[in-house]
Amino acid sequence: MPTGKKKNGPDLERLDRVVADARRAQHAREQSYRGRALKLYPWICGRCAREFDHTSVQELTVHHKDHNHDNNPPDGSNWELLCIYCHDNEHQRYLDQRGIDAGPTKGTAQATHTPFADLASLLKKDS
């Protein structure tokens, strides 16, 4: 028996490894800010104040306040822990606002809308 598989083996293995590496890197990035955020903050939803423990923590998500997942300052200032429901809401609200900004396709409704009134109340709420 030849010790064989020199030709087929390495290529497939390498491909596998590249795919696995890419997945792991992405996963690791998510895990690392999630892990850090969970260490930094109490396990409580920032909106509805629901509390979490080890059995339910998978329903607690890390929200990026500026919606930029690459912005992960070590002090956690861009993170907010939200339960999956509030997190959903938060993003829905963000998308709605961007929809208004992106405007024209939505018709003429935006003429009756005063974006600055909204903005002011949002700012007040957040601070």
Binding site for Zn ion (CB under 5 A): 45, 47-48, 63, 83, 86
Q: Taking Cα atoms as reference points, which of 107, 101, 103 lies closest to residue 119?
A: 101
Closest approach, Cβ 87 to Zn ion, in A, equals 5
Nearer Cβ to Zn ion (18/48):
48
Closest approach, Cβ 112 to Zn ion, in A, equals 29
* Distance separating the N- and C-terminal Cα atoms of the chain: 73
CA distance 50 to 86: 10
Nearer Cβ to Zn ion (59/100):
59
Nearer Cβ to Zn ion (94/113):
94
Closest approach, Cβ 67 to Zn ion, in A, equals 6
* 3-class state of residue 82 by DSSP: strand
Nearer Cβ to Zn ion (13/51):
51
66-to-24, 32, 39, 61, 109 alpha-carbon distances in Å: 25, 18, 20, 15, 27
- Other beta carbons within 10 angstroms of residue 80's beta carbon come to 19
Amino acid at 17: R
Closest approach, Cβ 9 to Zn ion, in A, equals 43
